Amino acid sequence: MVLLGCVVITAAFTSPIFVKPDNLGIQDWDEHFFYHAVPRQSILEYQQFPLWNPYYCGGSVMLANPQSRILSPFFFLILIFGTVVGLKAEIFLHFVIGMVGCYVLARTLNLDRLSAWALPLIYMLSSMFSLPLTVGMTWFLSVAYVPWAIFCYLKSFSRPWFLVLSSICLVIIFFEGGAYTLTITLLFYGAFAILNFKNFGITRSVIITASIGLLFLAIGAVKIFPAYDFLQTHPRHLIDYSGYSMDSLWKSLFDRNQTVLALTTYAEEQNLFKKGFWSGMNYGMDETGAYVSWIGGALFLIGIGVYGLRQWRWTFIFLFFLWLSIGNRAIPSLWEILHQFPVFDTMRVAQRFRIIFVLCFALFAGLGLQALKSLVSQKCRNKFWGNSFALLLLILLLSDLLLVNRETFKDAFPFSGVNINRADNRSDFIQISKFPKYDINGFLKPNTAHLRSSYSTLYPAFQKNIGVVDYECFGNPDIPKNAIPFDRVGYKGEVYLEETEGKALVSEWTPNRLIIKISASNPGFLVINQNYYPGWHTTDRHQVESREGLMAVQISPDDETLELYYRPLSFVIGTAVTFSTICILFAAYLTRRRWVEKFPNFRRIF
C-alpha cells in the first residue's frame, strides 16, 4: 500500500514532464542529455563499454567523469527508450524510490504508520528535489538513495550485514553521478558515528563506519579508480562565495513562488547580489529552493519543541548541516573550514548541504505530526479522531506541495521545435569551436543564452556528429583543450601526418577505437586531433604519446595500418577489484549457514 501510494503521488507530481515526452529541456539538460547519449551510442551502435568521449572538449573521459551515470541501475531505460524519454522515466522511478526510502527510514526511527508519511512528502516533494531536475542536474537523482543509505547505516549498528547494504547504497549514489551527494552522505555518517560514541563505543562506531567506506571503495572500484585517476591528473580547487542568507533561506523554504526565475528575479529587483548574513543571495532557486510548506514548518516547530532534546543527535545534525548551508555568510564559517580539506575543496555551492538538513526538517515534522495526533487522541479519548486529524493535515500538506512544487516541472521541457538531424556517417566526425544554443524558438545567435534556454549545445552537436571544443569541461576551467577546431586557423584534419610526407585516412571510427590507414614516405608522426590521455594504446609495438597535447604515434614507411584503443589501467584494475569483491560477498552469503554453525556468535551478523 505504501508503494502504491508513492506511485500515485509521484504520477500526479511528475505529470507535467510527460505532457510532451520528446521535448528537450532548459539550462543544463542539454549537457546531461549529452552525457547519456554518448554512452548509449557506444553501447548500442559500437558494442563498446563507454570509456572515452570524443565529442567533449576535444576528447575526454566518459566513465571517469564524476557526473556520468553509465553504471546507474536504471541506465537500461536510456538504452530501451532513448535518451530523452528514458531520463524522464528515471525521474519518475527515483521519486518513488526516494519516497519509499523516506517512509522506511521514518518507521525505523519509530514514527507511527500515519505520521511516517510526513517524511517522504516533505523531503521528496519539496522543491529541493524538483528544482535541480527542472534545470537538468541529473546527478541530483542520486539524492533518492540518501534515505536508504541512512536507513542501512543505522541498521548496521545492530545487524552488521547491513554494512554491505549501506556500502551498496553509497556505490549506487556514486554510480548515479552523485559525487556531491556521496560526500555529503559520508559527512553525515561521520557526524552520526561521533555522536554515538557513548551508545556504541568509539571502537565499534569507527570500525562500522570505516568498514562501510572500505566496502564502498572495493565494490565501486570500477568507477572510483578511473575517476580518482582523472581527478589526480586534473585537480579541481574551487573558491566560491556561497550560502544562504537568512532572507534567501526564508524564501527558499516558505515562499510559494518556486519557479526557476523566482529568486533571481527577486534579487535583481532588490539588488541583493551582495555578501552578508541577513540578506543577499548566491545562485538561483534551482540551487537554493526547498519549499516545505507552511504546514510542514508548523509541524517542524512542534516536533523540535517536543522531541528536540530527546532526539538531540538529530537536532545537532540538523543544526550542523544548516550551518554548513549558510556557507561563507556564517561567522564563523564552518563551510570555509571544511573547504580546506581534500575532496571538500573541490565542492561549490554550500546550499547543497540542504540535502541533509531538509531530511532532518522532515523528520521533526513527522514527529510533530505524531505529537499532535497523540494529543488529539488523548483529548478526544479516541484514536479515530487523532488519526483523522493527522490524515487531514497530511492531505493539506500534500495538496500544498503539489500546488507549489509541481509547477516547477512545467518550466523544464519546453523545446519541441529544435531540429536535430542525426549524422548519416559517423566516420565523418569533426570538431568545431562552438555550436549555437537554443530555446523555444529554435537556435540562438552566437554567444547568447538566458534562463529559459539551453546553457550548452553539446547534444545537438553530438547528433550531427560534431565535437565541441570550447567548453568548460567538468566545470574545471584548468583542463587543457588541445584539439584544434575545424573553424580555427591551424586545423590540419582529425588525423594527419607530421615530419613526413604522405596520407592518413580513418578506416574505422568509434569512440574507444580507431583504425587508420597511413602511407608515409619517411619516419614521422601520426597525429590524432584529440586530447592525449594516458590509457590510449595500439595493438602492435607502437606507443601512443603526447605531441603538443594531442595523441600521436611514431610511424615508419613500413606502417600501413594502425589500430588505437582506449583502455586505462585504472579501469582494468578497478574492474578486477569490483568483480573479486562481489564474488567474495556472494560466496560469503551462500555459505552463511556454515559460518553460523561453526561460529554461533556470527548468527547476529547474518
Q: 120-162: per-residue pLDDT in tens?
A: 999 999 999 999 999 999 999 999 999 999 999 999 988 878 8
Q: Which of the 8 DSSP states describes residue 444?
A: P
User: Who has greater pLDDT, 101 or 557?
Assistant: 101
pLDDT tens for each residue of 493-539: 899 998 888 898 988 899 999 999 998 888 899 999 999 999 999 98
- Domain boundary (386, 411, 436) is at 411
Nine cell digits for residue 271: 539588488
Question: What per-residue confidence (pLDDT) applies to 606?
Answer: 42
Which of 187, 116, 121 is CA-nearest to residue 149? 187
Say how many domains are in the chain.
Answer: 3
Same domain, 40 and 131: yes
Here the cell at position 427 is 566516420
CA distances from 534 to 173, 174, 233, 600 (A): 27, 23, 10, 50
- Residues 539, 595: one domain? no
Same domain membership, residue 587 and residue 527 = no
Is the pLDDT at 98 greater than 50? The verdict is yes
Which range marks the domain in which residue 577 is found? Answer: 569-604
Segment 551-563 shows an average pLDDT of 90
The pLDDT assigned to 158 comes to 84
Do residues 226 and 373 both lie within one domain?
yes
What single DSSP character describes residue 237? Answer: -
The domain boundary, picked from 359, 381, 411, lies at: 411
Residue 371 sits in the same domain as residue 500: no
Residue 604 has pLDDT above 70, yes or no: no
C-alpha cell at 499: 615530419
Residues 264 and 148 in one domain: yes
Could you give the CA distance from residue 414 to residue 210 in angstroms, rounded to a whole number?
46
Instruction: Report yes or no on whether pTM surpasses 0.75.
Output: yes
Same domain, 103 and 178: yes
Share of the chain above pLDDT 90, in %: 55
> What are the beta bridge partners of residue 443?
438
Cβ neighbour number for residue 297 with a 10 Å cutoff? 16
The pLDDT, as a whole number, for residue 270 is 53
Residue 483 maps to a domain? no
Indicate the residue among 411, 435, 464 that finishes a domain: 411
Residue 237 confidence (pLDDT) above 80: no
Residues 500 and 357 in one domain: no
Going by C-alpha positions, the residue among 13, 8, 25, 61 that lies closest to residue 574 is 61
Task: State how far the alpha carbon of 315 is from the alpha carbons of 257, 307, 311, in Å.
Answer: 28, 9, 6
| Residues 387 and 343 grouped into a single domain | yes
CB 56 within 8 A of CB 68: no
Facing residues of 467 across strands?
A: 431
Burial of 238 (0-12, 13-18, 19+ CB in 10 A): middle
pLDDT at 72 over 70: yes
Residue 98 exposure: Cα atoms within 13 Å on the Cβ side: 28
Q: How confident is the model at residue 605 (pLDDT cuts 50, 70, 90)?
A: very low
Using the predicted structure, report yes or no on whether residue 424 has a pLDDT greater than 60: no
In a domain, 245, yes or no: yes
Whole-angstrom Cα distance, residue 268 to residue 288? 16
Within a domain: residue 169? yes
Mean pLDDT of the chain: 88
pLDDT-derived band at 417, boundaries 50, 70, 90: low
Mean pLDDT confidence for 204-232: 92
The answer as to whether 444 is a domain residue is no
| CA–CA gap between residue 315 and residue 113 (Å, rounded) | 22
Together in a domain, 508 and 575: no
Indicate whether 523 and 387 sit together in one domain.
no
pLDDT digits (tens, 9 = 90+) for 285-312: 888 889 999 999 999 999 999 998 999 9
Residue 478, in any domain of the structure: no
- Distance separating alpha carbons of residues 441 and 458, to the nearest angstrom: 18
Give the residue-averaged pLDDT of 444-471: 81
Does the residue 162 lie in any domain? yes
Is the pLDDT assigned to residue 331 strictly greater than 70?
A: yes
Distance, CA of 281 to CA of 426 (rounded, Å): 45
Q: For residue 473, tell me if it sits in a domain.
A: no
Pair (136, 220) in one structural domain:
yes
- 418 inside domain: no
